[in-house]
Amino acid sequence: MKNIIETANREGLSRIDNSQPFLVDIRFANEVLPGLHDFVIGHAGPPMDWEQMCGPMRGAILGAIKYEGWAAHDIEAEELAKSGKITFVSNHDLGAVGPMTGIITRSMPLFEVFNETFSNYSYCTINEGLGKVLRFGANDDEVVNRLKWIEVTLAPVLKNVLEMSGPVNLKVIMIQALAMGDEMHQRNIAASLLFARAIMKHLAKVDLLPEDRSRIVAFIMGNEQFFLNLGMAAAKAVMDSAHGIENSTMVTAMSRNGTSFGIRVSGLGDGWFEAPPDLPQGLYFPGFSEEDANLDMGDSAILECMGVGGFAMSSAPAVVRFVGAGTVIDAERYTREMFEISIGKSEKYFIPTLDFEGIPMGIDIRKVVETGILPVINTGIAHKQAGVGQVGAGVVRAPMECFIKALVCFGEKAR
């Protein structure tokens, strides 16, 4: 059995490393996500109902309902959400991902990423910026109006830009950004600038009102996390290509809905192995503390599945301060620890500070359970109440129970 699993896992590792994710288009969710029509809402993490949802998830859903015009105000939106008339769907089941609450509705424009090596697509929303935003559960007029601006003004322009630029190679940007001090989860400064460099000369040619051009440039250049959603879409396209390999014990998705943490395993189908999530340990914005924090949340841990984020912490010494993870030596320790639970090292994505070792790639459920070393995830922290938004950033571990459940299932299957 060992040889069969090792062969399957090597195939998975090869698929991750050889994937070539390109940003190819901007598409509206109802055009490309199956079944995402009126009164259907995609969310981060494993599937769940309204009753199970945490505060920020509910807050974001109310915001999305108002954004779509299905209700005029919060009270009406909450009545609709509770009524059973809304269908809630896990983003992963739609072929998409979204950070934090991860809410996707029919009118939202999405980045369309194509994995050229394996001909599969993935989708992610456009990053709204930091602070009071829908993905962190905020939902007032400012949030909804910004979403409308993204849909009506920004998305058509980005689509036009991509028509001029052609596909943007996200793998090249991620490899360069790793060498420039990003880990692509909580630090995307270099990646965002590299992406901006790729599109700006085309954006300059789009026929636009001066005020629209100014706002678009300010929106993209003023958001150090703009690339986060592009990196997530890339990671989703990459990891989906490694899903469904018989006998592979590789984790192909880790995701959290704020109430439950779930993992998917390549050789175990589309089911989720779930456990309660932890509270991230980190730093809080002025005026907030751990008491305000919601449990771990978001589809963004897809990044750690492919070996960036917390796994590549050593690549981003500056991020350890932002996420309160200690010292530069601690950053190296995190990455070295992740080698222990990974199937191998990348031959394409390198960490300069580790003398150009490849990033740890492909989490093996067997190694997690055997060593007791849990995958480390860099993450934003949402306020636990609906409507507030982001209150900090930190580090969190995946819960062991998910990996034990998956391992037991694998053991039964292997009988």
Partner 1 sequence: MDMTGINDLFDQPLVVVNVGLKIFHESLKTQGALCVHVDWRPPAGGDPKILEILEKLGS
Residue among 136 and 403 whose Cβ is closer to partner 1: 403
275 sits near partner 1 (criterion: CB under 8 A): no
In this structure, are residues 318 and 117 in contact, taking their beta carbons and an 8 Å threshold? no
Residue among 11 and 38 whose Cβ is closer to partner 1: 11
261-265 and 273-275 beta bridge pairing: antiparallel
Q: Residue 46: phi, psi to the nearest 5?
A: -65, 160
209 sits near partner 1 (criterion: CB under 8 A): no
Q: Give the CA radius of gyration of the chain.
A: 20
Residue among 164 and 408 whose Cβ is closer to partner 1: 408
Q: Which stretch of DSSP H or E encloses residue 22?
A: strand 21-28
Q: Is the dihedral of CA 226, 231, 237, 240 positive or negative?
A: negative
- How many CB atoms lie under 10 A from the CB of residue 368? 25
Provide the minimum distance between the beta carbon of 306 and partner 1 in the complex, in angstroms, as a whole number: 22
Stretch that binds partner 1, among 112-120, 212-220, 287-295, 407-415 (CB under 8 A): 407-415
Q: Which stretch of DSSP H or E encloses residue 144?
A: helix 141-149
DSSP annotation of 392 reads E
Interacting positions 308-367 with partner 1 (CB under 8 A): 366-367
Contacts of 171 (CB under 8 A, 6+ apart): 19, 20, 21, 234, 348
Residue among 127 and 314 whose Cβ is closer to partner 1: 314
DSSP annotation of 223 reads -
Q: How far is residue 139 from each of residues 51, 136, 296, 316, 367, measured CA to CA in Å?
A: 19, 9, 20, 32, 41
Binding string, residues 370-399; x marks residues near partner 1 by CB under 8 A: xxx---------------------------
407 sits near partner 1 (criterion: CB under 8 A): yes
Binding residue for partner 1 (CB under 8 A) from 6, 15, 150, 314?
6
Residue among 171 and 366 whose Cβ is closer to partner 1: 366
Provide the minimum distance between the beta carbon of 330 and partner 1 in the complex, in angstroms, as a whole number: 14
Residue among 41 and 368 whose Cβ is closer to partner 1: 368
142 sits near partner 1 (criterion: CB under 8 A): no
Interacting positions 232-271 with partner 1 (CB under 8 A): 249
Residues forming contacts to partner 1 in the complex (CB under 8 A) are: 1-3, 5-6, 249, 366-367, 369-372, 404, 407-408, 410-411, 414
